[in-house]
Structure 1
Amino acid sequence: MDSIDKALGEIPLPPYITAEDVTFALRAINVHAAEQWPDGQRCRNDRATHPCRLHRWGRRVLAMRGLTDQEFQTMLAEQEAARA
């Protein structure tokens, strides 16, 4: 965990998860994906240690919505296919 993570803590979750929150969460996970660096995995967007705050927030939102890892990986793949 980076020092900024320690200072800021986790991003708060919404009181209830809407379809729009799921869309934002999928985007956060996709944009803040892991990238291999010489010193280990880093967020490809902000270079923080992976998983960064937004990536963790996205996963927590999807978990609160009841989605499994496999389900949101499928949703991410569908989003990528729609953009192509």
Structure 2
Amino acid sequence: MDSIDEVLGELPMPPYVTAEDVGFAVRAVTVHAAEQWPEGPRCRNDRAPHPCRLHRWGRRVLDRRGLSDRQVQALIAEQEAPRK
């Protein structure tokens, strides 16, 4: 965990997870994906050690919604697909 994470702690979870929360969570996981650096995996958005706070929050939201890894991967692929 990064030193800023120790100070700020985890992002709070919504009281119940809505479809809108799932959209935000997929975006967080997509934008805050891992990127390999010489010192190890880092968030490609903010360069914090991966998984960063927003990536962890997104995964917790998706887990609480009860989505399987396959469903999460499908949502991420949909998010990353080029728009027509």
TM category (shorter chain) comes to over 0.9
Unaligned runs of 5+ in 1: none
1:56 corresponds to which residue?
A: 56
Aligned runs of 1:5-84 on 2, under 5 Å?
Answer: 5-83=5-83
TM-score, scaled to structure 2: 0.95
**Matched residues in 2 for 1:82 and 1:75: separation?**
13
Q: What code does the residue aligned with 2:9 have?
A: G
Q: Give deviations 1:29-57, integer Å, cap 9, x for gaps.
A: 00000000000000000000000000000
Runs of 4+ in 1 over 3 A off after TM superposition: none
Unaligned runs of 5+ in 2: none
Kindly state the Cα deviation for residue 80 of structure 1 after the two structures are TM-superposed.
1.8
CA RMSD of aligned residues (A): 1.1
**Matched residues in 2 for 1:72 and 1:59: separation?**
9
Q: Give deviations 1:58-84, integer Å, cap 9, x for gaps.
A: 000000000011111111112222536
Q: What code does the residue aligned with 2:69 have?
A: D
- Please tell me whether the aligned partners of residues 22 and 62 of structure 2 are also in contact (alpha carbons under 8 angstroms): yes
Residues paired across the two proteins, number: 84
TM-score, scaled to structure 1: 0.95
Give the SS at the match of 2:42: strand
Q: What code does the residue aligned with 1:65 have?
A: R
